[in-house]
């Protein structure tokens, strides 16, 4: 039998019972899904593959999506707990910066540049706990310099703590990044900071994220002669496309995706695998976002079809490899007929980026779902080993 962990389905059931013992039928009706679907999700036999479904269920239960995902509250995972110890100091540094306080710098320019480069390398490796330990001091040192330096470090901070589940702090860091880029009128970094701001918004705010990206696209079009700005325009098109898909506006999403595709075809993949600010914009990254958008639309077959045309290894960011294999695995797991192939994809995803895979609630739920479906047979050794590596105990 599978020893029950704290899954999304378990949280849905918890909040449903907290709402006066709301029945599965009532929850299903409010969220626009079937009672059978709610039952399968709560029992761990099915995962939630669409952000829009999470939004609908959270709204019906009068909670946030973060409540259902357990983001920022999970315990027991060493990587998450290591990072959580740094969160109060990161929060304090962000408050100090937003209040306009500036301490004298204690770093030389060379040391500061080296520390930023190290933090960026950790981002590419998805080592978010190690990044988090650097951030309190690095944020304050960057604030002493201001401008592009602060915009970059605040961007790194926003990315790191968002992946760790602290979206409220990620949003604060994104605002610091935007303000710093605006102060020096650095258009490329303004595009980057607006992109990370849209990413930091809660899933429930998909329409706001799309509007924010749209406004940034209009503002930056006049600087499209700068290749760095063009790369960020492409990323903003992708952000607007995904957010519009979650918001139920597929026609708008299609237009944004077409613009991103045209821009990527013109620029090509970045020669160094990362491009400006490691955003990885180019045909390969567009293909990865197309996979995510197809997954959001419930088109598992299309996800698998797209995956055959993409070579994510040309990009240096580990989270891009993770996205590729995680989307494939979830698509293969849809329906329960290709679970062995799904498991192989999840093993590849965990190998590409162990820490974010281990703390990703959707990835964890996918692993539990495979185990639940395998109970009547023997749980494969590879599945038991994968679960163990990410802190899920599957009883023999």
pLDDT (tens place) for every residue of the chain, 396 residues total: 344 447 899 899 999 999 888 999 999 999 999 999 999 999 888 889 899 999 999 999 999 998 898 875 555 566 667 778 899 999 999 999 999 988 999 999 999 999 999 999 999 999 999 999 999 999 999 999 999 999 999 999 999 999 988 999 999 999 999 999 999 999 999 999 999 999 999 999 999 999 999 999 999 988 778 999 999 999 999 999 999 999 999 999 999 999 999 999 999 999 999 999 999 999 999 999 999 999 999 999 999 999 999 999 999 999 999 999 999 999 999 877 899 999 999 999 999 999 999 888 899 899 988 988 887 667 888 998 999 888 887 765
Residue linked to tokens 């930091």: 200
Asked if residue 37 is part of any domain, the answer here is yes
Long-range CB contacts for residues 343-352, cutoff 8 Å, separation at least 24: 343/370, 343/380, 343/382, 343/383, 343/386, 344/382, 346/370, 346/386, 347/382, 347/386, 349/321, 349/322, 349/324, 349/325, 350/386, 350/389, 350/390, 352/318, 352/321, 352/322, 352/324, 352/325
Asked if residue 315 is part of any domain, the answer here is no
Contacts of 364 (CB under 8 A, 6+ apart): 5, 7, 358, 390, 392
Asked if residue 65 is part of any domain, the answer here is yes
Asked if residue 270 is part of any domain, the answer here is no
CA–CA gap between residue 290 and residue 159 (Å, rounded): 21
| Residue 273 per-residue DSSP state | S
Calculate the CA 18 to chain-centre distance. Answer: 29
Return the pLDDT at 136.
Answer: 97
CATH of the domain at 50: 1.10.260.40
Asked if residue 161 is part of any domain, the answer here is no
Asked if residue 27 is part of any domain, the answer here is yes
Q: What digits encode the pLDDT tens for the residues 111-165?
A: 999 999 999 999 999 999 999 999 999 999 999 999 999 999 999 999 999 998 8
Read off the pTM: 0.91
| Residue 361 per-residue DSSP state | H
How many domains is the chain partitioned into structurally? 1
Q: What digits encode the pLDDT tens for the residues 212-226?
A: 999 999 999 887 789
Asked if residue 188 is part of any domain, the answer here is no
Q: What are the DSSP calls for 172-236, one per residue? A: HHHHHHHHHHHHHT-HHHHHHHHHHHHHHS-GGGHHHHHHHHHHHHHHHGGGTTSHHHHHHHHHH
CB environment 254-274: b (16+ within 10 A), e (fewer)? eebbebbbebbeebebbeebb
The domain in which residue 47 lies consists of 8-69
Asked if residue 36 is part of any domain, the answer here is yes
Return the pLDDT at 2.
Answer: 42
């Amino acid at each position: 039998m599978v020893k029950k962990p704290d899954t999304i389905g378990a949280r849905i059931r918890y909040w449903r019972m907290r709402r006066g013992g709301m029945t599965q039928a009532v929850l299903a009706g409010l969220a626009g899904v079937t009672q059978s679907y709610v039952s399968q999700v709560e029992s761990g036999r099915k995962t939630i593959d669409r952000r829009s479904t999470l939004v609908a269920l959270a709204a019906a239960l009068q909670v946030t999506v973060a409540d259902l995902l357990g983001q920022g509250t999970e315990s027991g995972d060493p990587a998450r707990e290591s990072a959580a110890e740094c969160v109060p100091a990161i929060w304090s540094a962000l408050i100090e910066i937003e209040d306009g306080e500036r301490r004298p710098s204690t770093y030389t320019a060379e040391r500061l540049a080296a520390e930023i480069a190290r933090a960026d390398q950790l981002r590419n490796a998805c080592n978010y706990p190690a990044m988090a330990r650097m951030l309190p001091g690095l944020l304050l040192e960057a604030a002493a310099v201001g401008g592009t330096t602060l915009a970059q470090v605040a961007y790194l901070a926003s990315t790191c703590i968002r992946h760790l589940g602290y979206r409220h702090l990620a949003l604060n860091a994104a605002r610091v990044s935007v303000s710093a880029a605006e102060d020096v009128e650095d258009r490329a970094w303004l595009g980057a900071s607006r992109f990370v701001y849209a990413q930091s918004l809660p899933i429930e705010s998909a329409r706001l994220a799309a509007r924010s990206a749209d406004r940034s696209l209009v503002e930056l079009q006049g600087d499209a002669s700068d290749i760095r700005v063009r790369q960020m325009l492409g990323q903003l098109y992708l952000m607007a496309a995904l957010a519009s898909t979650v918001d139920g506006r597929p026609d708008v999403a299609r237009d944004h995706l077409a613009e991103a595709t045209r821009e990527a075809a013109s620029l090509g993949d970045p020669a160094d695998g990362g491009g400006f600010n490691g955003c990885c914009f180019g045909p390969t990254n567009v293909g990865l976002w197309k996979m995510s958008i197809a997954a959001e639309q419930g088109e598992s077959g299309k996800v698998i079809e797209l995956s055959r045309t993409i070579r994510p290894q040309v990009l240096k960011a580990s989270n891009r490899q993770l996205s590729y294999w995680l989307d494939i695995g979830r698509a293969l797991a849809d329906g329960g007929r290709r679970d062995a192939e799904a498991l192989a994809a999840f093993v590849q995803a965990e190998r590409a980026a162990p820490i974010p895979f281990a703390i990703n609630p959707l990835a964890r739920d996918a692993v539990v779902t495979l185990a639940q479906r395998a109970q009547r047979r023997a749980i494969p050794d590879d599945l038991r080993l994968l679960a163990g590596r990410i802190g899920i105990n599957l009883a023999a």
